[in-house]
Amino acid sequence: MAASGAQRRIKSISYAKYGYLFILPFFIVYFIFQLWPLINTFILSVHGNGNASEKNTTSNDVLVGLSNYKTLLSGGDTRNEEQQHAEFFKAFKTTIILWIGNFVPQIILSLSLAAWFTDARLKIVGKGFFKVVMYMPNIITAASVSVLFMSLCSDKGAVNQILSSMGLSTVDFLKGTAASRGVVMFIQTWLWFGNTMIMLMSGIMGISPSLFEAAEIDGASSTQTFWKITMPLLSPIMAYTLVTSMIGGLQMFDIPYLYHTGTEINKDIQTIAVYIFQRYKNKNGAQFGYAGAASVLLFIVTVILGSITFYLNRDPDEVAKKKQRKKLIKDAKAKSKQFGGLSI
């Protein structure tokens, strides 16, 4: 046993360089294309907004300290700064509204479907077909989906034609605040419920079947089984779904960015990702300062959410191993103390 341990150690020394060699490309590319841009975003956030066509703006190269953050979070003296502040907060609020409006119906739908699909007592014909169809919207190009719904919901689009043929008044789905937000929520739910359903299904199938059998023998109804067995055991996966959906919601871009006609985007559905994008792709010159500051604020929120996921997503084996290792070290230390602190 000891010999094999020693052998392994020798091997690990002689082959370690291949380990570094194999992971090197990943880290080189990561540093150039992801880490440096992230640091660069922080750098940009403390620089000016280089808008040459307007007065009173500082160039991208001039250090301005935290003034971009101040402008975004609490406004400023000029009208332009007040406008940035208002737009940033509106975008943040919109993101939260749109996320809640698509997450709540989505989770109810996905969870109930997942419970029904995995219920062995129910005999639903064509389960496989339903799963395939319900996942399908998720693989379709979101940009195409957005333009499709824009066309269907336009003034003379199919939806308004159906409404007027039923004798109802037509709705401005493209420009009305509540209506346009409602459509975006619907599209997001339509795109994602199949994906969430399959993830929850695999979670439910990971629960030991003997628990369900025992519940059935004890005479529990489907409802009781769902609330007393499925839900408590599914809670880690539910929490994981919640947090990943939140992070995904913060990135919501394609649909809000494209759901409009003409060249101006609809401000009522402008999410934080769209706001950032609009800043650094501004027609009147890139406002990298505001874009950077807003990105950093978004990054902080994401880091908080991400660390929750990371905590939930830990490998239980690794955690147990680490604990064991710590205990061994502790024991060894205690033992060496017994020998009067003599190291061998």
CB of 327 to other proteins, least distance (A): 18
Nearer to other proteins by Cβ, of 89 and 190: the residue is 190
Q: CA-CA distance, 15 to 177, in Å (whole number)?
A: 62
Identity of the residue, 80 or 302, whose beta carbon is nearer to other proteins in the bound complex: 302
CA distance 72 to 45: 11
Q: Which two tokens stand for residue 27?
A: 């880290």
89/324 Cα distance (integer angstroms): 48
Q: Which is nearer to other proteins, 43 or 336 (CB)?
A: 43
Residue 320 binding other proteins, by CB under 8 A: no
| Token pair of 221 as six digits | 């109804």
Q: Which residues contact 157 (CB under 8 A, 6 or more apart)?
A: 151, 173
Backbone φ and ψ of 253, nearest 5° = -135, -60
Q: How far apart are CA 212 and CA 119, in angstroms?
A: 9
229 is a contact residue toward other proteins (CB under 8 A): no
Cβ 55 to other proteins shortest distance, Å: 23
Q: Which of 257, 268, 269, 278 binds other proteins (CB under 8 A)?
A: 257
339 binds other proteins (CB under 8 A): no
47: helix, strand or coil: strand
Q: List the x/- string, 36-75, binding to other proteins by CB under 8 A.
A: xxxxxxxxx---------------x---------------
Q: Build a one-symbol-per-residue string for 165-204: x at contacts with other proteins by CB under 8 A, - elsewhere.
A: x------------------------x---xx--xx-xx--
**Binds other proteins by CB under 8 A, chosen from 72, 91, 111, 134:** 134
Quote the least distance from Cβ 339 to other proteins, whole Å.
Answer: 29
Report the candidate in 58, 61, 64 with the shortest Cα–Cα distance to residue 46: 64
Looking up tokens 């394609």 gives 254
The CB-of-188 to other proteins minimum distance in angstroms stands at 12
